[in-house]
């Protein structure tokens, strides 16, 4: 993990919310996995993964497949 940001939010059921979170990008160019996670009051998690490119695209970027634990299961 390069960095982490934690922010507490409240979202009503069946609604949507735009949450801007600033992140510090790595200094080294390449492909990275950005993971966002929402946890409800019962500790159920919703995980979102986005692969991002940092720096100039010098050829093909390989994105690693990181296992992520969601409610005790690999996803």
pLDDT tens per residue across span 15-30: 888 888 888 888 888 8
pTM: 0.61
Domain that holds residue 22: 1-75
- Specify the number of domains making up the chain: 1
Alpha-carbon 64 to chain mean position: 14
Q: Provide the strand spans (E) within 1-75.
A: 30-39, 45-54, 69-70, 73-74
Confidence of residue 61 (pLDDT cuts 50, 70, 90): confident
Structure tokens at 59: 């050829």
């Amino acid at each position: 993990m390069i960095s982490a940001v934690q922010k507490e939010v409240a979202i009503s059921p069946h609604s949507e919310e735009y949450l801007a979170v600033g992140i510090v990008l790595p200094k080294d160019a390449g492909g990275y996995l950005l993971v966002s996670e929402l946890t409800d009051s019962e500790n159920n998690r919703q995980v979102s993964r986005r692969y991002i490119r940092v720096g100039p695209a010098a050829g093909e970027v390989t994105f690693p497949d990181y296992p992520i634990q969601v409610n005790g299961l690999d996803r």
